[in-house]
């Protein structure tokens, strides 16, 4: 596979600082690819520290040469979450003023056409191909639980006042509970990683329509952020858009 990408982050229209962090790590020599996005929580500066801690941990462990030789990728990815979680908790305990900070984490690692995924919180990962957008992850949120139980409708879910209450994150429990799984990357299309600053402002159809526009990747991510801001921009907006294509010789 060949991977091209663009990323963009925006403070939005309401927040005073940007508590999102993200990273893209192409390993072109190995035909591998990694990316991660984190949405911090906990108030001014607190969330920024938590999200940066998670992203820094992901980058360090993914770049570690020992990762290339590990036999259990799922276990390795879970250990990344455990280490990041521990670092956030220890920082909070050492500096009481930062107590309560935490972060979402959505990360991918692609090798041999297998998409390995870390997901905890309510940031999201989508696939886009054949004019269809599909959410690969499921939100760890209070309203998602209500929806799963049938207590609310999808329309109520979209406009629920407690939509931003998440049930899982790094830094809020001694042992994190991420979803870690893999799927076969058997399509030529897009992968989208984004924080809820995008998905709370745009529905899936809006996102699909913008991605399908005849623009380059940079234009697509900037247009997504622009539209989210036009619709209110109530949170930080961070987007990673990846285009996956088959090599010509394949």
The per-residue pLDDT for range 177-193, each reduced to its tens digit, is 999 999 998 878 999 99
Q: At residue 228, what are phi and psi to the nearest 5 degrees? A: -60, -40
What's the pLDDT score for residue 92? Answer: 85
What band does 116 get if pLDDT is binned at 50, 70 and 90?
Answer: very high
82, pLDDT greater than 70: yes
103, pLDDT greater than 50: yes
Q: In whole numbers, what is the pLDDT of the chain averaged over residues?
A: 92
What band does 161 get if pLDDT is binned at 50, 70 and 90?
Answer: confident
Decide which of 92 and 11 is more confident.
Answer: 11
Helix axis angle for 204-211 and 217-230, nearest 10°, is 150
206-217 pLDDT tens trace: 999 999 999 999
What's the pLDDT score for residue 250? Answer: 46
- The pTM score is 0.94
Are 10 and 225 in contact, with CB atoms under 8 Å apart? Answer: yes
Average pLDDT, integer, range 123-142:
96
Least confident range from 63-72, 130-139, 155-164: namely: 63-72
Q: How far apart are CA 34 and CA 108, in angstroms?
A: 5
What band does 38 get if pLDDT is binned at 50, 70 and 90?
Answer: very high
Both tokens assigned to 36: 């991660």
What three-state secondary structure class fits 224? helix
Domains, the chain: 2-245 (3.60.40.10)
**According to DSSP H, which parts of the chain are helical?**
46-63, 65-68, 73-94, 142-149, 154-158, 196-199, 204-211, 217-230
Contacting residues for 185 by C-beta, under 8 A, at least 6 apart: 1, 110, 113, 114, 115, 244
248, pLDDT greater than 80: no
Average pLDDT, integer, range 28-39:
90
Q: How far is CA 62 from the centre of its chain?
A: 16
What's the pLDDT score for residue 138? Answer: 96
Average pLDDT, integer, range 155-176:
90
Average pLDDT, integer, range 30-42:
91
**Helix, strand, coil tally for the chain in percent (to 5):** 35, 30, 35
44, pLDDT greater than 70: no
What band does 45 get if pLDDT is binned at 50, 70 and 90?
Answer: low
């Amino acid at each position: 596979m060949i991977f091209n990408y663009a990323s963009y982050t925006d403070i939005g229209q309401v927040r005073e600082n940007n508590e999102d962090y993200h990273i893209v790590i192409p390993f072109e020599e190995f035909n591998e690819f990694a990316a991660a996005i984190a949405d911090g929580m906990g108030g001014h500066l607190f969330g920024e520290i938590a999200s940066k801690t998670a992203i820094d941990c992901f980058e360090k462990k993914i770049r570690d040469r020992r990762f290339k030789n590990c036999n259990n990728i799922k276990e390795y990815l879970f250990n990344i979450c455990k280490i990041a979680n521990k670092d956030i908790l220890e920082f909070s305990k050492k500096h009481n003023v930062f107590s309560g900070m935490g972060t979402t984490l959505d990360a991918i690692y692609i090798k041999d056409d297998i998409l390995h995924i870390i997901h905890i919180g309510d940031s999201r990962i989508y696939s886009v191909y054949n004019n269809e957008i599909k959410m690969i992850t499921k939100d760890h949120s209070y309203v998602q639980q209500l929806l799963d139980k049938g207590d609310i409708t999808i329309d109520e879910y979209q406009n629920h006042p407690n939509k931003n209450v998440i049930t899982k994150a790094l830094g809020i429990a001694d042992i994190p509970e991420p979803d870690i799984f893999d799927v076969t990357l058997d399509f030529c299309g897009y992968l989208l990683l984004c924080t809820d600053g995008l998905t709370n402002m745009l529905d899936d159809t809006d996102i699909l329509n913008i991605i399908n526009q005849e623009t380059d990747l940079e234009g697509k991510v900037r247009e997504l952020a622009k539209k989210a801001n036009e619709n209110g921009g109530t949170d930080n907006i961070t987007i990673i858009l990846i285009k996956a294509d088959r090599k010509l010789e394949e």
